[in-house]
Homo-oligomer: A and B are copies of this chain.
Amino acid sequence: MTQAVRHDSMRARNLEVVLGEVSRNGPLTRAALAELTGLTKSTVSKLVGDLVDAGLLAETGPARAGERGRPGVDVVLSGARIASLGLEINVDYLAVRVLDLTGAVRFAARRDRDNRGSRPKKVLAELQALAEEAITEGRRLGLDLAGAVLAVSGPVGDGVLFSAPNLGWQDVRAADLLRLPVPVELDNEANLAALGELWYGGGERDFLYVSGEVGIGAGLVVNGELFAGPRGLAGELGHVVVAPDGPACRCGGSGCLETYAGQEALLAAGRTSTVADLLAGLDRGDQVALDACAAAGRALGVALTSAVNLLDLDHIVLGGVFTPLYPWLAESVAGVLAARLGGLRAAPPVLTASRLGGDAATLGAAGRVVHRVLADPAPFLVRAQEA
């Protein structure tokens, strides 16, 4: 449903266009921006001026010396004004991260603790303390906190975490248990990690991020945007059917991917109780561990085959516990994909490990706030009016 345009929204849109162009295409002069956006030099100058005044853009030194005419002044995103807060609740730790508008990490902290079976209230009280530390540090740096996003692993809709298989939580309004100076948005870890990979990771604009935890989630990025389905619950890769007569799954079905490649299945097959133990076994070439990974990889390959056929993927990023396991998974996953997709597609999708590892979720969470500012900078120009 497109919105009507008035003079103020025209301005807002053009501010967004200029800011977005600078954000994507590095340092740019006003002249280059005029070229790129199709706006005139005078308009670009006004817009850039306002954005500089607001502390969203900053002039760097003169650009491109050595060419003929007057050198332009390069403009870049400014890290001086905006702070965004990313939060994560994982099974084994709590994490926070503060980014500025340039995507630079200005603060990061992590508390290792086993959250399995902990009450939501207790976990969120500890996260609250961590978040307050981050906010204090942000304030000390002179930054305005523009928002906060909390990543949890499990399906999220309307602010409710429906179920978190790794924590044992059900129907928790996790973000509402935090008391922060800005509203906290709750979202799925796989989706946010996918966005983290998009903005601060591989640079691909189309891929499926697979998050292997106790459950197996996925975040789909298409043309640089997250695709979350009609209600935001897309990406339940863990319950894609691998073999209809396979082991019973907690979802009520049987033979879901999770029963082959979920953390519990993986550890059981490897006859270990922690991922660290499994990794140790793999490192010393333990055949049971190797076989467990190969089997999980084949199941993952089957599920991903279905995903590729449905979603037309050309790139798959393995995250969560699959990132450290990547060296022992990649061959069997890729093998199944190649065998099953070879007939119709020119090439099977490229398979890579997450570049960000465990940082992906908090980066994506904070990045979400950053990109919200980039997508609508107009509200942040009021400071200029105050001055």
State which residues 288-344 of A face B: CB under 8 Å.
302-303, 305-307, 309-314, 339-344
Please indicate which of the listed interface residues A6, A237, A307, A340 has the most CB atoms of chain B within 10 Å of its own CB.
A340
Q: Which residues of B contact A7 (CB under 8 A)?
A: 10
When C-beta atoms are compared, the residue in chain B nearest to A18 turns out to be B4
When C-beta atoms are compared, the residue in chain B nearest to A245 turns out to be B243
Q: What sequence of 0s and 1s flags, for each residue 1-15 of chain A, a beta carbon within 8 Å of any chain B beta carbon?
A: 111111100100110
Is the CB of A182 closer than 8 A to any CB of chain B? Answer: no
Would you call the interface of chain A mostly helix, strand, loop, or mixed? loop
- A4-B37, A312-B230, A344-B236 are contacts. A306–B306 as well, Cβ < 8 Å? yes
Please indicate which of the listed interface residues A4, A228, A311, A314 has the most CB atoms of chain B within 10 Å of its own CB.
A4
Is the CB of A233 closer than 8 A to any CB of chain B? Answer: yes
- Name the distance in Å between A188's Cβ and chain B's nearest Cβ: 11
Q: Which residues of B contact A3 (CB under 8 A)?
A: 17, 38
Is the CB of A30 closer than 8 A to any CB of chain B? Answer: no
A237: contacting residue among B2, B241, B309, CB under 8 A: B309
State which residues 25-46 of A face B: CB under 8 Å.
37-39
Q: State whether B10 touches A234 (Cβ < 8 A).
A: no
Is the CB of A54 closer than 8 A to any CB of chain B? Answer: no
Is the CB of A119 closer than 8 A to any CB of chain B? Answer: no
Is the CB of A206 closer than 8 A to any CB of chain B? Answer: yes
Q: Which residues of B contact A235 (CB under 8 A)?
A: 310, 312
Q: Which residues of B contact A222 (CB under 8 A)?
A: 227, 229-230
Q: State whether A252 touches B310 (Cβ < 8 A).
A: no
- Name the distance in Å between A30's Cβ and chain B's nearest Cβ: 14
When C-beta atoms are compared, the residue in chain B nearest to A222 turns out to be B230
Q: How far is it, in angstroms, between the C-alpha of A310 and the C-alpha of B243 when the chains are bound?
A: 16
- A242-B241, A310-B237 are contacts. A163–B231 as well, Cβ < 8 Å? no
Interface size of A in residues (CB-CB distance below 8 Å): 65
Is the CB of A175 closer than 8 A to any CB of chain B? Answer: no
Q: How far is it, in angstroms, between the C-alpha of A238 and the C-alpha of B239 when the chains are bound?
A: 19
Is the CB of A16 closer than 8 A to any CB of chain B? Answer: yes
Q: How far is it, in angstroms, between the C-alpha of A1 and the C-alpha of B224 when the chains are bound?
A: 10
Q: How far is it, in angstroms, between the C-alpha of A232 and the C-alpha of B313 when the chains are bound?
A: 10
Q: Which residues of B contact A373 (CB under 8 A)?
A: none
Q: How far is it, in angstroms, between the C-alpha of A119 and the C-alpha of B307 when the chains are bound?
A: 33
Q: State whether B253 touches A305 (Cβ < 8 A).
A: yes
Q: Which residues of B contact A77 (CB under 8 A)?
A: none
- Name the distance in Å between A229's Cβ and chain B's nearest Cβ: 3
- Name the distance in Å between A280's Cβ and chain B's nearest Cβ: 30
Q: Which residues of B contact A179 (CB under 8 A)?
A: none
Q: Which residues of B contact A227 (CB under 8 A)?
A: 222, 227
Is the CB of A244 closer than 8 A to any CB of chain B? Answer: yes
12 residue pairs bridging A and B, Cβ less than 8 Å apart: A4-B37, A6-B38, A6-B39, A230-B312, A239-B340, A240-B305, A243-B243, A243-B245, A252-B339, A252-B340, A252-B344, A253-B340
Residues of A within 8 A of B (CB): 1-7, 10, 13-14, 16-17, 20, 37-39, 155, 162-163, 206, 218, 222-223, 227-245, 249-254, 302-303, 305-307, 309-314, 339-344
Q: A3-B38, A243-B245 are in contact. List 15 more A-B contacts (CB 8 A).
A: A6-B39, A218-B310, A222-B230, A229-B312, A230-B312, A231-B314, A236-B344, A239-B309, A239-B344, A240-B309, A241-B340, A250-B343, A251-B344, A253-B340, A254-B340
